[in-house]
Amino acid sequence: MFLVVYNDFRIIYTDDRFDRAPSFTVKPQDTVAISGSKVVLECIANGFPKPRVTWLQDGSPVVLGSGYSILGESNLVIGSVSVAQAGNYTCQAKSESLKEEATAKLQVHCE
């Protein structure tokens, strides 16, 4: 952001060429699910350059393709959730050396 003064008018410009730390538009929410159901944990991050979003379960990286997939740019989908997949899920947005995290708890109950 920069300021230009022209004929005593102050104009503030924002410029996307300047780095902006990652921030969340949507953060994952605590969720309760029934075993076997589909779960979507939402996470949308902005920043410049565009942050890369990854997911962690209880601190370990989520392996896509092993029951997990991504919907849109960064929402985590668990196709058929199991009790073993319960825990804390962290959406991690990284942009160069900057990082932001948001965590939600997933509880899974048997029918």
- pTM of the model as a whole: 0.82
In a domain, 91, yes or no: yes
Per-residue model confidence as pLDDT tens digits over 5-54:
556 666 655 555 677 899 999 999 999 999 999 999 999 999 999 999 99
Tell me the pLDDT of the chain averaged across its residues: 89
Residue from 84, 7, 80, 11 nearest 40 by CA:
80
Question: What CATH code is carried by the domain that includes residue 62?
Answer: 2.60.40.10
The pLDDT assigned to 96 comes to 82
In a domain, 62, yes or no: yes
For residues 110 and 36, the answer to whether their CB atoms sit within 8 Å is: no
In a domain, 89, yes or no: yes
Domain count, the chain: 1
Q: Which domain holds residue 49?
A: 19-109
The pLDDT assigned to 3 comes to 47
In a domain, 7, yes or no: no
The pLDDT assigned to 80 comes to 96
The pLDDT assigned to 31 comes to 98
